[in-house]
Structure 1
Amino acid sequence: MRAVGAEQVEEAVAGCVAALGAVTDRDWRGAAAGRLEWDCRRTAEHIASDLIAYAGQLAGRAQDAYTPFEITLDGSDDGLDPADNEGVLQVITTTGALLAAAVRTTPRAVRAFHPYPFRHANREGFAAMGVAEVLLHTHDIAEGLGIGYEPPAELASFVLTRIFPRVRPGATPWRTLLWATGRGDLPGREPVTAWRWSNNPVHRSQRLTLEGVTPATAADLSLAGDGGYEWVGGAAADGTREGAGIMVKQYEEGEFHPEWGMYVLVRRDDDRAVGAMGFHAAPDADGRVEIGYDLVAGARGHGYATEALRTLSRWALEQDAVRTVVAVVERGNEPSRGVVARAGFVQVCEDGGRLTYELRG
């Protein structure tokens, strides 16, 4: 599958270098970077540092912590002439190219350590984080130096739909991203004073990886795309596409909860998607959460749905907000009734041919 994110990293870096390249003759150390405590020079060095750190995480497949290294520009402590502002931009260009290369060459299923919030991210997540660092800190430096800067809306949207799933979209993606990171205001929304981006959640069972769907993936699936997956049988099932459409609506309304959304079920032995499973919404006030699932025809009869349902239900019941997991199945759907029964669910009622099953913690 084509690696999404590398081109966005390159575009973001090119825009940063073009904007700041016009003011390399200014005193970057003497100007504060926007609302940050850093000066503009320190902020530019931070961009380069983050880009190489993300590339290192992907290339080294780090699993438990950041790879223990840091970047040092010439002149910091080695006796060489200090890198000037043009030199800093050259380093940003280089480290951006390294991250883009890491994104392109890292297999789709690989996840490496990042602390926010589930302690891992895939190549698309690291690309989105890299683009965010470039866009936001270029903005900070530009603000400190008194120059204009506005990246393409598509880049801001790329970031929002990958690592800001809880942020309700606004009319202008760039202004929305600035607001979401405490750098601006939006009409009708309270100012943001603390923020943190969010990579997608993942759960693992014996044979499957349950990969949380981002707003970007949901949008693609709802429009008959593949969502970035190779599907058994060539395409996602209709129920998966319908569920993705519901997630898109939740995102547009600011009601998207990554942990309580859809998960694509991926076979670990061949990295092919066999179906999807997920929650209809976050747990209600009574601690109830409803779950649904859908497999492509070619993957049925192998126990994948039962395995995934046991995994996701068990995780849900371990959360403080959940006391009961609910599944509703049509009376005539014998295979699905078998799935919930094997997963430990108990039928509690019937209404118009729809059977309600519960699994309690």
Structure 2
Amino acid sequence: MLSMGGDEVDEAVASVVALLRPVVDRDWVGVNAGLLEWSCRQTAEHVASDLIAYAGQLAGRAQSAYVPFEITLDGSEDGLDPADNAGVLDVLTATGALLTAAVRTAPRHVRAFHPYPFRSANREGFAAMGVAEVILHAHDIAEGLGLPYEPPTQLAEFVLTRIFPHVQPGPDRWQTLLWATGRAHLPGRAPLAEWRWSNNLVIDTERLRMEGVTPAAAVDLSTGGTGGFDWIEGGPFYGTREAAGMVVKAYEAGVHRPEFGLFVLVRREDDRAIGGMGFHGAPDEEHKAEVGYDLAEPARGHGYATEALRTLTERALARDDVRSLFATVKPDNAPSQAVIGRVGFVRVSEELDAEGLQAYELRG
């Protein structure tokens, strides 16, 4: 079953507490954390702040900005003694538990504000961001204190397949994540001076949410799972599973671009997935991209495909790197021909291609 991230947050926090508990008597203030300008103490406090911030965003359903609060660990406002290093670890444990609770209790469809890059994240995204903050900064603190650290193997995989869809996974997922965040070198890859993670894109239509499929969800869909979606009867249809397999291959090759991936169509009224729609890959050198779609049989005949395709194509053709879109349809598939016709695609050749399909094009 595809994990939503609560267990991973717990495991990440436990790993950093296990790392640092034996050295609480060391100086965390006078030592910088790895290459950061923060001290080890400041870095640990930063992690706790991020965990509580993510929990607050998700629990509070913030939609336009961060919830305006912060935590302090020194106790000075209440006249208390400043928190010692052991107290910092207690705060990390507590804030991690709050994020875990928020992830586990948030409904599947809930999204909350996060600026990068599409202005929102779901529960899985906030879990992945939390895990990333914990294990990456644990690495920084460990470097500063001269400690060995490597998180549980599956945590780097969890982060990469949720919020680094554009990064080609290397054989060692932890080293790949360190490289992707400017912390390590990988053979054959240029060092990164700047980087950014990427939560999945969601495109809204009148009746649907078109939810971008992460590499993790694509693997699950392509191997017979649900991808974390609640499907209507008959879904996902075989075309969606094939498209998920294409996402997996693109991700493994390092050429996946989330804006040109697979989207699952989810009805707003009941949060049920009804089909898949998306691109066969990024635009080619002629700025052309291919689109495809399918619906579970009970969802057909209600205009969902037309509604989603119109929104997707308008968004794509508004980009500078897309000049035209094309699609191929079986000659006897009248409903699909009607969908692309309503959106504005026109047939570009009377001949069938090598697979016996008719080609249609929509120009910007």
Checking the alignment, whether the CA contact within 8 Å between 2:247 and 2:256 is kept in structure 1 is yes
Shift of 1:38: 0.2
User: Which residue identity does 2:342 align to in structure 1?
Assistant: R
2:54 matched residue in structure 1: 54
Count of aligned residue pairs for this structure pair = 361
Aligned to 1:193: 193
Is 2:262 aligned against 1:262? Answer: yes
Whether the 8 Å CA contact 1:3–1:103 is kept in 2: the answer is no
In the aligned structure 1, how far is the partner of 2:76 from the partner of 2:343? 59
Matched, 1:140 2:140: yes
Aligned to 1:249: 249
Q: 1:283, CA displacement in angstroms?
A: 1.3
Percentage of matched positions with identical amino acids: 67
Give the whole-Å Cα distance in 2 for the aligned partners of 1:340 and 1:312: 12
Match of residue 95 from structure 1: 95
8 Å contact 2:200–2:214 — kept in the other structure? yes
- For residues 146-201 of structure 1, the C-alpha deviation after alignment (integer angstroms, 9 at most, x for no partner) is 01110011000000000000111111111111111111111111111110000011
Matched with 1:240 is 240
Matched, 1:85 2:89: no
Q: Distance in 1 between matches of 2:323 and 2:246?
A: 24
**AA paired with 1:5?**
G
Q: Name the amino acid aligned to 1:344.
A: G
Distance 1:351 1:232 in 2: 36
State the partner residue of 1:73: 73
- The CA distance in 2 between the partners of 1:77 and 1:259, in whole Å, is 46
Is 1:338 the counterpart of 2:338 in the alignment? yes
- Whether contact under 8 Å (1:329, 1:337) holds in the other structure is yes
Q: Measure, in 2, the Cα distance between the counterparts of 1:328 and 1:285.
A: 20
Task: Kindly indicate whether residue 361 of structure 2 is the aligned counterpart of residue 358 of structure 1.
Answer: yes
- Structure 2 CA distance, aligned partners of 1:329 and 1:237? 16
Alignment of 1:21-32 (within 5 A): 21-32=21-32
Match of 2:294 in 1: 294
Query: What secondary structure does 2:264 align onto?
Result: strand
AA partner of residue 243 (structure 2): G
Give the Å deviation of 1:325: 1.5
The answer to whether the 8 Å contact 1:328/1:355 transfers is: yes
Judge conservation of contact 2:57–2:66 (CA < 8 Å) in 1: yes
1:322 is aligned to 322
Aligned equivalent of 2:272: 272
> Unmatched 5+ residue regions in structure 1?
none
The CA deviation at 1:65 is 0.6
With normalisation by structure 2, the TM-score equals: 0.97
CA deviation map 1:203-238 (0-9, x unaligned): 011110000010000000010000001111154111
- Compared CA separation, residues 76 and 259, structure 1 to 2 (3 A): farther
1:14 and 2:14 equivalent?
yes
Question: How big is the alpha-carbon RMSD for the aligned residues of Structure 1 and Structure 2?
Answer: 1.2
Distance 1:284 1:72 in 2: 51
| CA–CA distance in structure 1, aligned partners of residues 51 and 91 of structure 2 | 10
Q: Please, what TM-score do these two structures have when normalized by structure 1?
A: 0.98
Q: Distance in 1 between matches of 2:75 and 2:204?
A: 47
Counterpart amino acid of residue 208 in structure 1: L
Write out per-residue CA displacement over residues 279-317 of structure 1, whole angstroms, 9 at most, x where no aligned residue.
111112222111000111121111111111001001001
Is the 1:3–1:108 contact (alpha carbons within 8 Å) kept by the matching residues of 2? no
Inter-partner Cα distance in structure 2 for 1:345 and 1:191: 43
Question: Which whole-Å CA distance do the structure 1 matches of 2:6 and 2:306 have between them?
Answer: 36
Distance apart, 1:133 and its partner CA? 0.2
